[in-house]
Structures are given as structure tokens and as C-alpha cells.
Amino acid sequence: MPLSPEQQAEIDAQRGAPQSTLRTTAPGMEKHLYTAYPVLDHGFVRVIDYMGDDAAICQAARVSYGKGTKSVSNDAGLIRYLMRHWHSTPFEMCEIKLHVKLPVFVARQWIRHRTANVNEYSARYSILDREFYIPAPDHLAAQSTTNNQGRGEALQGEEAQRVLRLLQEDSMRAYDHYEEMISQEGQQGLARELARMNLPANVYTQWYWKVDLHNLLHFLRLRADHHAQYEIRVYAEELCKIVADWVPAAYGAFEDYRMGGATLSAKGLDCIRRMLKGEEVTQETSGMSKGEWREFQELLG
């Protein structure tokens, strides 16, 4: 992710100009502001702005006149209670705005989370950069043989090299032709809104993305999960670190109740009760399908 000197200078200028405010600030977040954290080969995430902190969640839950916090430990307890009982609205009272650079095929997954605000770099209006995601060799995974929607081990040897070469060559050629088509040297030049159609889905785009904490945590639960596609998961993991510094109590509750927790079906709950009473339960006596039973077994470790 090579930022140009001009881009870095713009970022540095913002980081060098603290201002006075009466608003709530989150000290753990201030240190992240504007910094571009690299993700994949050319991508990044950086925080542009934020609103609220752990105390703001409690302040809203209590509809209070002041800062709304008696003590940090009280707040953490309330936040855990809210998370455990699926109260979503207090978490919506925190907001974050990000600048993200990401491959188009990742952007297409990301945008399915609709409750957010987004401004994307316009390829109708502007010219895209020559930047394409090429997987690192250890992430060049084979199709999973057991899961149609997953990946297996990394490709090896000649096959891996052939794939890398195809991705690289096709990306470069597509960009050459993109440039050739829009060029106005000695010709009219194709409209940008049309020429972009020649670029493959590993080309990088970028956007401003703004979302409240409740919806961000929902995004992270799905996208930082180990079933998520690697290329979006690395963005989610980077965001997890930032959120942990921003709202440590909320993030702690999220880790315990969402990321590290599990949802049991009525059947699963019944099986556990029977098992705790000493009964030996099998797939046949569980009432579950084979797939469910396998997932249930994994859950119990």
C-alpha cells in the first residue's frame, strides 16, 4: 500500500493539528485517526472520524443529562447486560467513519451490509489506478472438496505459479487496454464509464464508509468469522483491533457474547441437558441432521 508523498503529507497535516472540543473523545481512538493501516497488497483502512465511546452507550441507555457514567465498572456491567439481552439501540449511538481501499470483489461483499453510508470513488468520473490484488502464494487456495463455498489448502508448485502468472498478466493487459481505450492521444477516447468495464474484479477501489457500532459489530461477527472469505476477513480483523481500542467494554462484551459464543438450537439445548444428566446422545437420538450434528460436535470441542 504505497501512499504517494502527497497523500502521506495530507494525512500528516491532519494528524498534526489537534483541536479543542467539548465532545466526548475516546483516547484509544485518537491515536488511530487518519493512519492508513495496510491490508492485503495495496489496500488499507483508516479512521476518518468517530462519535461516542463506552460511556456514550450507557448515557443513551439511561437517557441521562450528563456524561451518564457513574463508574467504569458500572458501565461495563451495563454494557454486558445490554449485549447479552440483544439491546441494539444504545450501540447505535456510536458511529465511525472509515476510508477503505479494497479490491472490487471484496467491495461487492462488503456493500451487502446495507445499513451504512458509503461514497465510492467514481470510475465514471475519474481514472482508476493501476493497482490489482494478487494473492500471496500461501493464500492461493484450492477449491474446497467438502464445502462448495469454501477453500482448501494452498495450491503448490507449477499450478500455483501458473495461476499467479495468469492473474498478473491479465490484470496488466486489462489495464493497458483500459488506458489505451480512454486515451485522447490521436483519438477521441472511450467514455470512462464504459472503459472501466474491461477491468477485472481484483482492481482496487476505495470508499468512505460510515456505520454505527451496532451494525459494525454485526459486520465483524460475520466477516471476522473463520468462515468468511480470507480477503474480507483481513479487513474485519484490522477493524476489530481498532474497535477494541475505541470502545473496550463493548468490544469485550462482543467477544464474549458474539464472536466467542454460539447459538444453540432447541434440539442442541435439549441434547446438552440430557448429556449433563449422563445420557449418551448420538446423532440418531439427537433429532439433528448429519450436518447439524457435525457442527454441534465441533461446538462442544
- The yes or no reply on residue 56 touching a second copy (CB under 8 A) is yes
Assess 167 for contact with a second copy (CB under 8 A): yes
Number of residues that bind a second copy (CB under 8 A): 135
Contact 159, 198 (CB under 8 A): no
3 state DSSP class of 201: coil
Query: Is 281 an interacting residue with respect to a second copy (CB under 8 A)?
Result: no
The CA angle 74-79-81, to the nearest 5 degrees, is 95
The answer to whether 35 touches 71, Cβ cutoff 8 Å, is no
Among 25, 74, 161, 297, binds a second copy (CB under 8 A): 25
Of 223, 273, 274, 294, which one is the catalytic site residue? Answer: 223
Task: For a second copy, give the closer residue by CB, 200 or 248.
Answer: 200
Annotation-wise, does 76 bind a ligand?
Answer: no
Reading phi first (left if > 0) and then psi (alpha if -120 to 50, else beta), residue 233 is in alpha
Answer for which of 28, 37, 41, 48 binds a second copy (CB under 8 A) is 48
Of the candidates 54, 212, 220, 247, which one interacts with a second copy according to CB under 8 A?
Answer: 212
**Among residue numbers 171 through 200, which ones bind a second copy (CB under 8 A)?**
173-174, 177, 180-182, 184, 187-194, 196-200
Binding of a second copy by 244 (CB under 8 A): no
The Cα 211–Cα 217 span in angstroms is 10
For residue 57, the tally of other CB atoms under 10 A from its CB is 30
Candidates 202-210, 233-241, 243-251: pick the segment binding a second copy (CB under 8 A): 202-210
- The answer for residues whose C-beta is within 8 angstroms of residue 68's C-beta and 6 or more apart is 55, 56, 58, 59, 60, 61, 62
| Contact status: 255 vs a second copy (CB under 8 A) | yes
Q: Quote the Cα angle for 139-142-144, to 5°.
A: 115
Question: Does residue 120 sit in helix, strand or coil?
Answer: strand
Angle at 257 between CA 216 and CA 95, to 5 degrees: 20
Q: Which residue among 64, 74, 161, 297 contacts a second copy (CB under 8 A)?
A: 64
How many residues are present in the chain?
301
85 labeled binding residue: no
Q: How far is the CB of 10 from a second copy (least distance, A)?
A: 3
Question: Is-catalytic flag, 130?
Answer: no
Our finding on whether 275 is near a second copy (CB under 8 A) is yes
- Residue 89 assigned ligand-binding role: yes
Please identify, using beta-carbon distances, which residue of 120 and 237 lies nearer to a second copy.
120
Q: Alpha-carbon torsion 9, 241, 243, 219, what sign?
A: positive
Judged by CB under 8 A, does residue 61 bind a second copy?
yes
The answer to the question of residue 71 lying near a second copy (CB under 8 A) is: no
Known binding-site positions for FAD? 89, 112-114, 120, 212-214, 218
Known binding-site positions? 89, 109-114, 120-124, 196, 212-214, 218, 223
